[in-house]
Structure formats: structure tokens, C-alpha cells
Structure 1
Amino acid sequence: MTTQRAPDLKTVLIASGFVLTLAMGVRHGFGLWMQPISQAHGWTRETYSMAMAMQNLMWGVFGPFAGMAIDRFGTMKMVILGAFLYAGGLLWMAMIDQPTVFILGTGVLIGGALACTSFGAVSGIIGRTAPLEKRSWAFGISSAASSFGQFVMMPVEQQLIGHTGWQNAFYMLAALVVIIMLPMAWKLREPALEQASGPQQSITQAIREAFAYKPFLLLLAGYFVCGFQVVFIGVHMPAYLKDKGILDPNVAVFALALIGLFNIFGSYYAGKLGGMFSKPYLLSTIYLSRTVVIGLFLLAPLSSYSIYAFSAALGLLWLSTVPLTNGIIAGIFGVKYLSMLSGFVFFSHQVGSFMGVWLGGYIYTKTGNYDMVWGIVLALGIFAALVNFPISEKPIVREQVAAA
């Protein structure tokens, strides 16, 4: 009988990097479709915002279940499933013009796809492949790959929309997702996890342990804020800038691309620093710094230069929370159920994403501006800085797991 060899860390980081680059890069560009789709179908911004909110919510809902499946059946199979769901979701967005059907289909298909191809999906294989001393660094590399996708894909998506039309842009991206993700998934094959001798912790026991542990609950609260902030800004930034008189769409595209570019460095160094300093303290610092950067952006006179400066500063803090959060989870609970537990934490992130993107559209429709939402973003940033500060990242002390 042949034994399947585990992939080496370099292979895992390259393959998962390609998957994350495309999955997160395409997703970060969805804000570029808000105006063309709304104008083509005669919708308000609230309708498209609801579709994006549903997508983020379902990504979170599916996350823990995708994580369970990955921990049980391996990363490769779920990434393949995610690639086909992603392509189907992009085709759905191109062809459906009925609001309710558009919202539901986009939520289920794209949300399910992202649950199978984003951070939580690859965190398990990275955590199991990387040695302990390199684990935080490896999470930083994977987070940087998703940021590189945002930097690369934002201009690509804008050019596709401008030169081929918004529908054809979806068709071409659907083909690209399948062509790239399937061969990369093959590189993420894992052998069956070796079971240690003695009684083993079950999935149910792992879930109960996590939700009874205060640091895990604080991570949930902080990650809610992360989702609210980044998705509100990512989806509503182009429309916000246009409302403020920045009519050149390339400014918004370049601003979002700058966020991705600078987050390559932010994510990498957050992961690297997480191996040297307290991860909870670093998380608290990131949330507090975000609040300061956003506050200065709102107070400063608006120009293309202030927008680019804001984007660069925010980019350093954008997804730098991801390697630190995954590192804390792995450090506390181990790597056996890492994908599943990361999925639960990410569900909180996506509830925040749902609220951020939907509330942005809802409040804009009611008031005609985003002022109230920016206030909420600032208040939540302070809250997240406070709740992350007291988190302990020490490994949990377990009593001997009772045999089933």
C-alpha cells in the first residue's frame, strides 16, 4: 500500500497563495460593480449592498461547516468545490436581474465559495504543515497573498468592466477562477491525519471547549469589528468618493489597489511580529491605529493625495489581523480543529461584514450620506482595541479527554 506524502510548506504556501490571491482579489473588487449593476437594473444602492451583505453573511455561516469538512476530508476537495461555486456565483451575478433572486443566489454561491477557498479553508493545512516557530510567519504569508490579489485584481476588474462590459467581466472571471484554482487544489492534498494514542477530543467537545473559554469569545467580538470596517470601506469607498466630488473612477480603483499593495507588507510583518511579541497586544494596536487613520482621513481635506495616503496607511492594517488571530487560535487550541475554529471566529467577522455593508447602503438611502456609518466605524475600532488587549494566548489546559 502506498502512503500519500504530506506536501511541504513551500508547496502549501505557493498553492494556497494562488487560491487566496484569486478568491480574495475577485471578491474585493465587487464594489466596482455597484453602480453599473444598479443603473442597469434600476436598483438603489441598498439592493446591491444587501446582496454583498448576504454574501458575507453566508460566507460566515458556511465557514464552520467548511472547516469541519476540511479537517475531516482534506483541503483539496473543498477548494475544488469552492472553485465551481465561485464560477457559478459570478455567472449568477451576470445573468440575474430579479432583486430577491440575485441577493439569495449571490449569497449562497459566492458565500459558499469563499468559505471553501479563503483564509479559514487554508488555515488548517498551513497550521499542520508549518513548524511551531514558523506558524505565525506562514499565516502572514498567506494573508499577504490575499492582499496581493486585491492589488492585482482591482485594476484587472476595472479594465474588464470598462472594455468588455460588466456582464462579460463576470464571464471572464468565472473562467479564470476555474482555470487557476483547480490545479492549485491538487497541490493541497493531505494524507489522513495520524491519530495520537489514547482518547481523542471530538468535534463537539472542541466546540464546547472553545465557546466556554473567555479569550475565544473576545476574539469573536474583535473580529466582528474587523469585518464591519473592512467590508464597509471596500464596498462603499468608490460611491463615497464619487459623492464627495471625486468623479474619476480610477482614483477609487487605485485607492483600493493601494490598500491591497500595502497590506502585503502589513500582513507579512504582522505574522512575523506575532512570532516575537504578544499577538493580543498587536491586535489591540492594529484596531486602535485603524481608528486613528480613519479619523484623520475624515478630518483632512479630501483630495486624491489624501485618499492615497489614507489607503496606504489603512493597507498596513487591513488584513494584518488575520495571521495574528489564526495564530492565537492555533496556540490556544492546537491545530487538529484549526479550520473549524477559525471558521467560527470568521463567522463573527462576517456578521460584522453583513452589518457594515448593509448598514452603509441602508443609512445612505435614509440620510443621503455616510456620516453616521463612519461614526459607528470609529466607535467599534475603539471597542475592538479594548476587548483584544486582555486576551491570553497561552495553550489551554485540558483534563484528559474522556473516552467515548
Structure 2
Amino acid sequence: MSDPVDSTAFYASVPLQDDFGVLSDTQKYTPLPDDWWVGTSDIVGSTQAVADGRYKTVNMVGAAVISAQINAHGGAAFPYIFGGDGAGFAVPPAWQDRAAKALAAVRVWAAEEFDMGLRVGMTRVSDIRQAGLDVTVARFQAALGVDYAMFTGGGLSWAETQMKKGAQSVPQAPAGTQPDLTGLSCRWNHMPSRHGTILSVVILPSDDAPGPAFSALARDVVEVARGLERAGHPAAPGGPGVKWPPAGATLEAHAQRRGGSLGAARRKALFESFVAWLLIKTGLKIGGFDARDYQRIVGGNADFRKFEDGLKMTLDCDSATQEQLRNLLEKAAQDGIIRYGLHTQSEAMMTCIVPSIMTDDHVHFVDGAAGGYTAAAQAIKGAQ
């Protein structure tokens, strides 16, 4: 295993940005080194799974890809992004072998635990550039202890397309292979809209649209969203709600049992979530852990908007702002600048990776609770 400091030197050098709006400017992004690898994943039949009500499972499998990578690399920083029904990431060459093994393990786990097919692939950045595209990365500091990677250049999307065609796949892992999904959970309540609707937004640049035109459109969209409470953040200021038993206890058990008893893993998840629920409800503190403060930090750390060769957002949106966004996007589509999809639902949901409740670096992925990004992307496919 290479030295973590040397392996992450590039990503550590990428400057942090604390203003999401500036990330519409491609000049704020740094090209990945040629010898790095891009990993991609996508759930087969995710649209039907969402239609069947399995949206929490879809999100859990998508987040599992990231969780397995975080654990495979010992918690060292690297760029990754959650897409709802899949995830993407990039790693230095010294990490490529274990990154591929972690992807293969999640593919086996998704099939054996949930009967879900998962496509996975890895592509060298130099191969993406030979195809005429690029992979550039920025870092958005969502909160003091957490930052999320943003990607542009079209290369991540190209790699995903190649993966779906059967190229760039990784070797199949043996049956029973278990990924390390330590920290993966989904214990929080769904977050009901406080202002009208939870709006899932997916915006992609048209193939022949000039980059500056898309950047200007993205900047306008972000500015409209700024007019919403907390820029449209679906979590309340005090963080998401919690109830017991949590709806995601069985999913968490599937992630944490590591080949053991599902019942035992579920009982453990229920016990731990009960203690957390009790501490939040009573305000009691144990060993320096303040559950109410943790709840607040969860909301601040959550990833509800991102640039991923386009712009994705999950917004708590009022009807007037929704109409304003729709009109803005429709005009841009008619002008040939973008393709877009929208999906409305009444709630948002959160899937979490929490290495430790005693530190503030836990990450939380937000999606719509009834289709979300998957349904919004499907609307793009149906557009003329």
C-alpha cells in the first residue's frame, strides 16, 4: 500500500471553495492527472426499482459504492460523487487495484443482498482525454469538516456510457465476497417539504452547446435557488428528524452484517438507533457526545446539490420558484444550451456514511424520496 500522504497529494492541493455558485465557472476546476483512474457505477433497472418503491434500496446501493471506497483506502481523501442510482470517483494509480476489488465486492453484495444488478467500471484518465473529453475536479466545502468533489469536463459521463456498453468493466469477484461498508446507514426520517415540494433537478449541457453558455445558465439556476430558505436545503435548520424504529434498519443490517446473521445485524442497528433517538429526545449527553448537536451538524454536512458534468439539485421549493426555474430551463433547452429533467415529490431522504459520531467529517447524501435524481434523469431520456 502506498503512503497515504503521497497518494493524496494531488487532491489535497485542489483549493476548497465555500461558495457553491462559483463552481459554475470551469476555471475553478483542476484537471486530474493523466495516470489517475475514474470509477463508475450504475444500477441496472433503477427506474423500475424506483417505480416499485425500492428507492431507499437504490440509494443505499449507490452510496455503498462510495462507502466501500472510503474504507478500502483507509479514510484517505479522494474525489467522489453520489448520483442516486450510482456513484463516481477517481483514485491515483497506486490505489487502482484495491479500488477495483472494492467495486467488484459491492457488485456481488448488491446482487446477493438485494437481487440488484450493478454495473461497475474503471477507466484511465488518459483514455478519456484520448476520446476528446476531460475530467476536472473542484472541492466544495459544505461545512467546516466536510467537502464534496465536483466534476466537469464530460469525462465522467463518457466513462459511465462506456461502462454501460460493457467496456472498462472490472473482474468479477467470487460469490459471497463482502465489501467493507462500515459507517453506511440510513437512520433519519424522510424530510417533508416545508415550502411546497421537493424538486429534483438534473441539468446537462447539450452536446454542441458552448461551455460558457452552460456555465452562465448554471449560475442563473443557482442564483434562483439562493432565493429559497437556505438555498433550498431540504433539511430543517436543526437537522433531519428521527423516529424509532427507523425505516432503514433492515437496509443497514444488510450493509453491516458482513456475512453474519441478518437478524443479529438488525437488532444491533435497532439498539444503536434507539440510543441515538433517546439522546436526541432527552438532550442527555454520553461521553461527550451531544446528539442534538450531531443532528444539527448532519443537516449542515448534507450534499443536496452538485456539479457532475452538469448540475443536480434536490430543493425544498415553493411553487413560484419552481415555475421560475422551469421557465428558465425551458428557454435554455429551446435555445439548445441544455437538456433537463425535473421530478416532484413530497419528501427528501438521506443516506449517510458516518465513520465516527465523535468527529464532524460524516457525509450525508440527499435525494428525493420518490424517484429523485433517477426519475429526473428518466425525464431527460424521454425528451425530444
Same fold (TM over 0.5): no
Which of the pair has the greater relative contact order for Cα pairs under 8 Å at 6+ separation? 1
Please state which structure has a larger fraction of its residues in strand.
2
TM normalised by structure 1 equals: 0.30
